[in-house]
C-alpha cells in the first residue's frame, strides 16, 4: 500500500545510546519532515527536506541529524539519547509546496530511560 512507513513502532533506549528512526515513502513526494509530539504541545518540526540532498532545521533540531540521499528515504538519527527526547515521532511527506495534504506515518513511540 502506498504511504509513509516508519520503523520501529516502539523503542526503548538508555541515556547516551544512539539510534536511527527510519522513514520511507513510495509516493514520489519531494517534501518530507520529522515531527515530535508531546502532550499538550501539538507537533513540533525537527528537520525537513525539500528534495534529495537538501535538508534544513525546524523548530527543535538539537540532538537530531537527518540526511536525504534518495527521494524515498528520510532517516532521523538521535546522536546521544536523552530523557527529554522521550516522545512520539512522526514522519510526513507531501507533494505540495504549501505543505498541504501531508501524509503522516504511523509514528514511533520512543522512551529514553
Partner 1 sequence: EDKVVQSPLSLVVHEGDTVTLNCSYEVTNFRSLLWYKQEKKAPTFLFMLTSSGIEKKSGRLSSILDKKELFSILNITATQTGDSAVYLCAGSGNAGGTSYGKLTFGQGTILTVHP
Separation between Cα atoms, residue 59 and residue 54, nearest integer Å:
17
Does position 77 bind partner 1 by CB under 8 A? no
Site string for partner 1, 20-49 (x = CB under 8 A): -----------x-x-x----xxxxxx--x-
Pick one of 16, 59, 70, 83: the residue that binds partner 1 (CB under 8 A). 59
* 71, 49 contact by CB (below 8 A): no
* Sole residue written with cell 538539537: 62
Stated length of the chain: 113
To partner 1, the closest distance from the beta carbon of 50 in angstroms equals 5
- All three cell numbers of 82: 536523552
Q: Which is nearer to partner 1, 27 or 79 (CB)?
A: 27
Integer Cα distance of 100 and 28 in angstroms: 15
103 preceded by a cis bond (ω within 30 of 0): no
Identity of the residue, 16 or 51, whose beta carbon is nearer to partner 1 in the bound complex: 51
Chain positions contacting partner 1, by CB under 8 A = 31, 33, 35, 40-45, 48, 50, 56, 58-59, 90, 94, 96-107
Amino acid at each position: 500500500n502506498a504511504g509513509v512507513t516508519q520503523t520501529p513502532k516502539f523503542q526503548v533506549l538508555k541515556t547516551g545510546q544512539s539510534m536511527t528512526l527510519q522513514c520511507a515513502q513510495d509516493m514520489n513526494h519531494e517534501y518530507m519532515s520529522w515531527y515530535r509530539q508531546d502532550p499538550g504541545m501539538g507537533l513540533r518540526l525537527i528537520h525537513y527536506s525539500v528534495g534529495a540532498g537538501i535538508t534544513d532545521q525546524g523548530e527543535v533540531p538539537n540532538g537530531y541529524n537527518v540526511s536525504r540521499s534518495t527521494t524515498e528515504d528520510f532517516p532521523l538519527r538521535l546522536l546521544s539519547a536523552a530523557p527529554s527526547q522521550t516522545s512520539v515521532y512522526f514522519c510526513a511527506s507531501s507533494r505540495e509546496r504549501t505543505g498541504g495534504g501531508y501524509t503522516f506515518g504511523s509514528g514511533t513511540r520512543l522512551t529514553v530511560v
